[in-house]
Structure 1
Amino acid sequence: MSAKTPVESTQIGLIDDSIREVNTALNRGEAVDHPPGPIEAGRFHDGGPLKRGRSALFWDESFLWGIIALNTLSDLAFDFRPINADEIKQGMLEGYDIFIVPGGWARQKARALGEGGKECIRNFVRNGGSYLGFCGGAGLALDVKEGLSLVPLKRMDVRDRVPNFSGPIHVYAQEPRHPLWAGIESPSIFHVWWPSQFMYCKAESIKVLAVYGDPADDFFVADLNAKDINNSRTGWEPWEKEYGIRLDPINIKGEPAIVESSYGRGKVVLSYIHLETPDDTTGHLALFNLWQYLVSNSPSRSKDMGKACTKGLSSNRCVAISLDALKYADELEREMEDFVSFGIRNFLWYRRNGWLLQWKRGIMGLEYSTVYLMAKEIRKRIEERVQDGLHGSCEISRRLRSILNDSRQFLSMAKELLIQERYAMNTGKLHRFASPIQSIQVLRERLFADAMGTGGICRKLLVSMDGVLRLLF
């Protein structure tokens, strides 16, 4: 059976509309016994009504992936609140049914939580809460040095995995009767964005819900389109020799993509698939299915609902926003758009979709994509909330003025770095992790600190932008 893509589906538009309609009704306290469209209620509650449920979305160290998750959950009318590490340490997970952790570096998330925050999450799940992690959020739950050890799984060694793949891929059900697959054919096309891989062990406590199949159109490994390489005479072997890593997607076929386990009284679902990907209606239906499944297995936490409703990052709607803030946000977005155009005309990247760049091997494309998207998100949210009669300074305008100055320094240095990297590409001396050209290495260290982009001017800028976004929730 061929996979059904969102474009081919006759249900396009119906899925998101149906999810939104159901969630809106549930949020109003209405019973939904016969949901519309493709939603199959009977798979969750033995034929009973769907449940509302509430989720806490972990915000710290998520950046681009936090924005993607927040916008998808909001658009589909899920009942959730962003929450940060300090609030977790204060016990604010109580009153929620599901703790959702978006993508981003698991190590950075663990550092933000500290041992106290990690233990609060363990207690939440141990006492019946559910954990749903995407990509880096899945990595945070693993049994590794910085992890939560919610599941007896580790990461596959980087030498054994395909370390850099992204885009749409066919996914097969391993547990076709699991509620995850309600209304979804197997195989179906989902999206991954540079995930790690599970070092799978056959433990009784681990249930594999989905495995990878063949790549779909627009699936990339590094900066190579998988379909084009598969159709070429050269194949993957010479590319793997040149890049020095595994590239052939045959190596991920049959590998676990979504797994489930238990921890105490709670359930843990870890997905290297980004079910929250924008415009991925199949992923959104799977997300809705998992939400209902996890809520149905969660003990009643209604006594703590008031606590959950009034706390979390979504309590800043009264923050004053002036026209000056909109002016600075306009300038920030305009200069970021100019930077993206700079990369396009120098053949360094192109717009892969409405929120992500596709870049050439060796440059810090994900970091540039993240800065760009966060600038656009700030501009969008300020425009939604600016008060026409308010002029002069406000906290957000002061922060944005500082961000604008920092971004100009960042973009100026980044353009210089990219031009030098463009030249190095022609000489065969460009690599993401190290460069024999000293001027390139110096600029990279100042901008990003290391090859993983976890520091430098870029991080300072991202943290500042993240702080403004928190005020806008």
Structure 2
Amino acid sequence: MRASLLLSLLALLATILPAAEFAEGFRLPRMDPEEIAPASAEDLATARDTFSLGASSWYHLKPLQDTKSPTTEVLFSNRADGFDEPRHQAALQMVGRLPMKNPQVFKRGDDWLVQEGNDASHAFRLRWIPPTPTIVSKEHAETIRVALYVDDGSFGAGVSRIEEQLGPQKNVALRRVTAKQIRQGALAQADVVIFSGGSGSRQANALGLAGRVQVREFVRQGGGYLGICAGNYLACEGFDWGLGLLNARTKSSRWKRGVGNVQIERTPAGQNELPSLPEKSSIRYANGPIFTDAQNPTLPPFTTLAWFRSELAKNDTPVGIMTGSPAIASAAFGRGRVICSSAHPEQTPGLEHFVEDAMRWLAQPSPRTP
């Protein structure tokens, strides 16, 4: 009775988790490299930490502490009072970074300028660039272009294993991409993007609002998304910092279930999309998401490609919610495709062809969805 009540309560709590959030109308800050005359006293009198580029277009400078090099995040909101320090502020609002500890942003005529502190010897012109439109081109259909995210929030053996598995493949062009490159439109030169293990929330914070929008639009316009463990969390709908690509929410906020091998069972759909995946197999698991349908009417339902048939439930995590939950799932998003794996097939002996299978399925065109 208590177990049943606990599961019901967890399910209720999960349904009220926030959906992915995306502010609109932002521009990206871009510093010109040429040095120009520093601010005058009159210029500095106009400098503000929070300023507007127009109606419903507000920006705020947030210097970061304890970084290797001077860094200030540029945050965006549709409201002047919209910078109230949400927990995942970078994921929800960051549109760029300035290489300064104490930037002074001001206008001189029609130009925006920025300099380090009040007594700088020079300033730089600061341009506000519209996001690069995400246009997924299939002109290079004979070669699958894969962008592998390698930046904050991506750690562990996943990246190296994926490179080992895809690098030798014919007609595959694999390259690493950073969060900054994604914000600046690098996915326009890709067919598939991969986010591997690490921390989904840290990946979201590194991408910022601008990067999350780029990934989401990349998939909507026909790109493919492969999320493994942290990348699966990142894709889910049930986090305000998520990408909202997969109509899924986690069953519990207690995620630290443990690390070890668990059993999965492939579905008929899994056989079609992942032909090398055995009917039953042991797979490495490391605190991946235990998810269910988020029931968002604006997203298509996902298809389960494999089920968990055993579970880990260490550290006082809920018992009984993992077995029978999706281990691997796929979905359509716009004209693109999504595959997410809670566990780590790329790090499991015998499942080394999973990433290649997923990549090739993701690179195919998908029927348009809302």
Indicate the TM-score class for this superposition, using the shorter chain for normalisation. 0.5 to 0.7
One-letter amino acid of the structure 2 residue matched with residue 56 of structure 1: A
Match of 1:155 among 250, 270, 287: 250
Separation of aligned partners in 1, 2:309 and 2:142: 32
Per-residue deviation, 1:157: 1.8
Structure 1 position 192 matched with structure 2 position 285: yes
8 Å Cα contact 1:167-1:192 kept in structure 2: yes
For residues 80-139 of structure 1, the C-alpha deviation after alignment (integer angstroms, 9 at most, x for no partner) is: 101001111111111211000011111111111111111111111111001110011111
Separation of aligned partners in 1, 2:301 and 2:332: 7
Structure 1 position 72 matched with structure 2 position 164: yes
One-letter amino acid of the structure 1 residue matched with residue 338 of structure 2: V
Aligned position for 1:139: 233
Residue 362 of structure 2 aligns to a residue whose secondary structure is: helix
Q: Could you list the runs of 5+ residues in structure 2 that have no partner in the other structure?
A: 1-140
8 Å Cα contact 1:65-1:104 kept in structure 2: no
Match of 2:301 among 205, 216, 238: 205
8 Å Cα contact 1:54-1:79 kept in structure 2: yes
Residue 276 of structure 1 aligns to a residue whose secondary structure is: helix
Are residues 244 and 257 of structure 1, via their aligned partners in 2, closer, same or farther at CA, if it must alter by over 3 Å? Answer: closer
CA RMSD of aligned residues (A): 2.7
Residue 189 of structure 2 aligns to a residue whose secondary structure is: coil
8 Å Cα contact 1:51-1:296 kept in structure 2: no
Aligned position for 1:171: 264
**Structure richer in helix, relative to its length:** 1
Q: Which has the higher mean CA deviation after the structures are superposed, 197-206 or 56-65?
A: 197-206
For residues 319-377 of structure 1, the C-alpha deviation after alignment (integer angstroms, 9 at most, x for no partner) is: xxxxxxxxxxxxxxxxxxxxxxxxxxxxxxxxxxxxxxxxxxxxxxxxxxxxxxxxxxx
Residue 93 of structure 1 aligns to a residue whose secondary structure is: helix
Aligned position for 1:276: 346
Aligned position for 1:438: none
Separation of aligned partners in 1, 2:331 and 2:282: 24
Separation of aligned partners in 2, 1:202 and 1:175: 23
Match of 1:260 among 330, 333, 345: 330
8 Å Cα contact 2:257-2:317 kept in structure 1: no
Aligned position for 2:102: none
Match of 2:363 among 264, 271, 295: 295
Which residues of 2 match residues 31-430 of structure 1 at below 5 A? Answer: 52-61=143-152, 62-73=154-165, 76-77=168-169, 79-143=173-237, 144-158=239-253, 163-176=256-269, 178-201=271-294, 205-214=301-310, 222=314, 244-246=316-318, 248=319, 250-277=320-347, 280-297=348-365
Separation of aligned partners in 1, 2:166 and 2:334: 30
One-letter amino acid of the structure 1 residue matched with residue 148 of structure 2: L
Per-residue deviation, 1:275: 2.0
Residue 202 of structure 2 aligns to a residue whose secondary structure is: helix
Separation of aligned partners in 1, 2:295 and 2:350: 28
Are residues 201 and 85 of structure 1, via their aligned partners in 2, closer, same or farther at CA, if it must alter by over 3 Å? Answer: closer
Q: Which has the higher mean CA deviation after the structures are superposed, 108-117 or 60-69?
A: 60-69
Are residues 298 and 72 of structure 1, via their aligned partners in 2, closer, same or farther at CA, if it must alter by over 3 Å? Answer: farther
Are residues 171 and 202 of structure 1, via their aligned partners in 2, closer, same or farther at CA, if it must alter by over 3 Å? Answer: farther
Separation of aligned partners in 2, 1:294 and 1:197: 23
Per-residue deviation, 1:293: 1.1
8 Å Cα contact 1:274-1:283 kept in structure 2: no
Residue 283 of structure 1 aligns to a residue whose secondary structure is: coil
Separation of aligned partners in 1, 2:162 and 2:326: 26
Per-residue deviation, 1:286: 2.0
Are residues 154 and 176 of structure 1, via their aligned partners in 2, closer, same or farther at CA, if it must alter by over 3 Å? Answer: closer
8 Å Cα contact 2:267-2:279 kept in structure 1: no
Among the aligned pairs, what percent are the same residue? 26
Residue 363 of structure 2 aligns to a residue whose secondary structure is: helix
Are residues 221 and 154 of structure 1, via their aligned partners in 2, closer, same or farther at CA, if it must alter by over 3 Å? Answer: closer
Residue 203 of structure 2 aligns to a residue whose secondary structure is: helix
Separation of aligned partners in 2, 1:95 and 1:244: 44
For residues 6-62 of structure 1, the C-alpha deviation after alignment (integer angstroms, 9 at most, x for no partner) is: xxxxxxxxxxxxxxxxxxxxxxxxxxxxxxxxxxxxxxxxxxxx9641200011121
One-letter amino acid of the structure 1 residue matched with residue 195 of structure 2: V
8 Å Cα contact 2:165-2:356 kept in structure 1: no
Aligned position for 2:47: none
Separation of aligned partners in 1, 2:321 and 2:220: 35
**Structure richer in strand, relative to its length:** 2
8 Å Cα contact 1:135-1:271 kept in structure 2: yes
Separation of aligned partners in 2, 1:127 and 1:286: 24
One-letter amino acid of the structure 1 residue matched with residue 223 of structure 2: G
Separation of aligned partners in 2, 1:178 and 1:153: 22
Give the aligned length: 220
